[in-house]
Amino acid sequence: MTTLRLPGRVDAHVHSREPGYTHKEDFYSGTAAALAGGVTVVLDMPNTIPPTATPERLAEKARLAAAKAVCDVGLFVGATTTYADAYLPVATQACAVKIYVSDTFGSLRIDTLSLLHQLFRTWAETAQGTGYRTHDRAGGLGPITVHAEDLMLSACLALADLYHVPLHIAHVSRRSEIELIRKAKEHGINVTCEVTPHHLFLSTDDLGRLGNLGDMRPRLGTPDDVAALWENLAYVDIFATDHAPHTLQEKGVGAAEAPANPPPGVPGVETMLPLLLTAVHQGRLTLQDIVGRCINNPRRIYGLPEQPETWVDVDVDASFVLTNKQLLTRVGWSPFAGMNLVGRIQEVVLRGVRVYGDGQILAEPGSGRVLFVQPE
Ligand code: DOR
Ligand code: ZN
């Protein structure tokens, strides 16, 4: 057994599902799954019911997270067609704004240039007023984070360039997209990006086996898309999971009749570290690749505070078969179930307190902190 001590990891893309979808996950089950995955900060997405699109909704979500979370939580605000930029008065209390420009789950969708343009303009104006620096959050704003696939990616890059707003591209999945981001970075545009484990370790070749359990947005790429992500790893700033739990029933598993519109998305917050450590074991990644993309870069991009006396101990020699039974996510399944993995999380310590060990959550609900939000 070889124990390796890592700093607490960040998962910068998690759908905790509360409020509105707590049959899929809530702030307790989602953050418990995070700790089991060696994650001590999750950044929570705004496509809940109701969406986190106004100051009142952000305050409500902060209360829910503060009551239940067992790791730290940053909250995204989201743009809706109805409320557009209603979040601006509390923009500094969000880790960032998330704009869904491409097809997704839930009601948040912005697909007209006029609205997209408005959102970039008002975020830039607010940032000028607050003097944003994403690496120094004192009173500043986070980046604009977008789900923008294909042609929509170029629209977002152009707007970020024109308005000098830091832009973060969520879950990049295609060769064309990572190559365009690479070009944009070389050109000096202030853009960063993330890739999920499912887009790194699965492809369209797995769809026959996975069925609806392999359906998410962006969809799985071809083996050539996957190869392009690995070839361009130097341009990938963050590994984040897009932990997007839906129940097996909603996915149509075991159902007599296939559901008409199964929701897209897969859980992942507790399986990313063993998957990445397995890639280290295979010589495809280095530990430094993980530390940069799961700790240092997300902290810098979102301006996250340090977590003192916080670490994750992993047994890098432990090999095991991933089973659904061992998972803490409420939905209890993973698209990676059945895989042989090397690297088991033994213990997590958050601010000097042992919060996970021997497969058990030891933290009290509400011991996690909600980042950036000012107490009322
Ligand atoms: O597959 C996805 N599911 N992609 C998204 O962007 C949203 C997510 C969800 O919330 O279920
Ligand atoms: Zn997502």
Query: How many whole angstroms from 103 Cα to the centroid of ligand 1?
Result: 9
pLDDT at residue 231 tops 70: yes
Mean pLDDT for the stretch of residues 311-333: 98
Superfamily of domain 3-361: Metal-dependent hydrolases (3.20.20.140)
pLDDT at residue 3 tops 90: yes
| pLDDT computed for residue 135 by the predictor | 44
Which amino acid residue places its CA nearest to atom 4 of ligand 1? Answer: 217
Mean pLDDT for the stretch of residues 254-261: 81
| pLDDT computed for residue 255 by the predictor | 78
pLDDT at residue 218 tops 90: yes
Length of the chain equals 376
State how beta strands 238-239 and 191-195 pair. Answer: parallel
Q: Which long-range contacts (CB under 8 A, 24 or more apart) does 246-250 make?
A: 246/24, 246/331, 247/23, 247/24, 247/331, 248/331, 248/332, 248/333, 250/24
* Ligand 1, pocket-test mutation among 13, 14, 15, most atoms within 8 A of CB: 15
Report residues near ion ligand 2: CB below 5 Å: 242
| pLDDT computed for residue 81 by the predictor | 87
| pLDDT computed for residue 134 by the predictor | 45
Q: Which of 310, 332, 336 is nearest to 322 (CA)?
A: 336
Is the distance from the beta carbon of residue 92 to the nearest atom of ligand 1 less than 6 Å? Answer: no
120 or 81, which is more confident? 120
Q: Please tell me the distance from the alpha carbon of residue 372 to that of residue 137, in angstroms, as a whole number.
A: 9
- Cβ-Cβ contacts under 8 Å for 80 (sequence gap 6 or more): 51, 53, 107, 108, 110
122 residue type, one letter: T
pTM for the model stands at 0.97
| pLDDT computed for residue 375 by the predictor | 74
Q: Which value, in Å, is the radius of gyration of the alpha carbons in the chain?
A: 19
The per-residue pLDDT for range 143-184, each reduced to its tens digit, is: 999 999 999 999 999 999 999 999 999 999 999 999 999 999
If pLDDT is split at 50, 70 and 90, which confidence band does 21 have? very high
The per-residue pLDDT for range 344-359, each reduced to its tens digit, is: 999 999 999 999 999 9
Is the distance from the beta carbon of residue 47 to the nearest atom of ligand 1 less than 6 Å? Answer: yes
| pLDDT computed for residue 83 by the predictor | 82
| pLDDT computed for residue 202 by the predictor | 98
pLDDT at residue 136 tops 60: no
Q: Of the ranges 35-44, 243-252, 256-265, 268-277, which one carries the lowest mean pLDDT score?
A: 256-265
Q: Please tell me the distance from the alpha carbon of residue 294 to that of residue 196, in angstroms, as a whole number.
A: 11
